[in-house]
């Protein structure tokens, strides 16, 4: 029995609005951060596309809703959730839970 469902690749097409993402920050040039974060994708903006050895890859600037208290220090955190922007090249996605917001 064949499954005709097309597979979605967040590597090639980016994250979608409504996705919940488990990631860590990959800003090797600025600092090392081994913490893992969960965030909800609120918005995305296409920055550019680049041909790679695996095919065409799109790079986005995302607006996330999530908890960054580990990054700022818990004593500086007044709110559990922050709205923040980050680009594709600065995160490493570990897991994605698909949202169904249309």
**Structure confidence by residue, pLDDT tens digits, 58-71:** 999 999 998 877 76
| Number of compact structural domains in the chain | 1
Does residue 37 fall inside a structural domain? yes
In a domain, 30, yes or no: yes
Name the phi and psi angles at 36, rounded to 5. Answer: -115, 140
Residue 82 domain-assigned (yes or no):
yes
Tell whether 6 is covered by a domain.
no
Residue 74 within a domain: yes
What average pLDDT is seen over the chain? 81
Kindly report the pTM of this predicted structure: 0.77
**CB proximity list for 95: less than 8 A, separation 6 or greater:** 21, 22
Residue 8 located in a structural domain: no
Domain hosting residue 83, numbered range: 15-97
């Amino acid at each position: 029995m064949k499954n005709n469902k097309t597979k979605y690749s967040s590597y090639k097409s980016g994250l979608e609005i409504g996705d919940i993402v488990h990631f860590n920050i990959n800003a090797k040039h600025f600092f090392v951060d081994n913490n893992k974060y969960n965030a909800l994708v609120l918005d995305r903006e296409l920055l550019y596309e680049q041909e790679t050895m695996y095919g065409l890859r799109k790079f986005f600037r995302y607006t996330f809703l999530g908890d960054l208290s580990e990054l700022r220090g818990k004593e500086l955190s007044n709110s559990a959730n922050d709205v923040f922007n980050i680009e594709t090249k600065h995160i490493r996605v570990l897991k994605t839970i698909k949202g169904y917001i249309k």
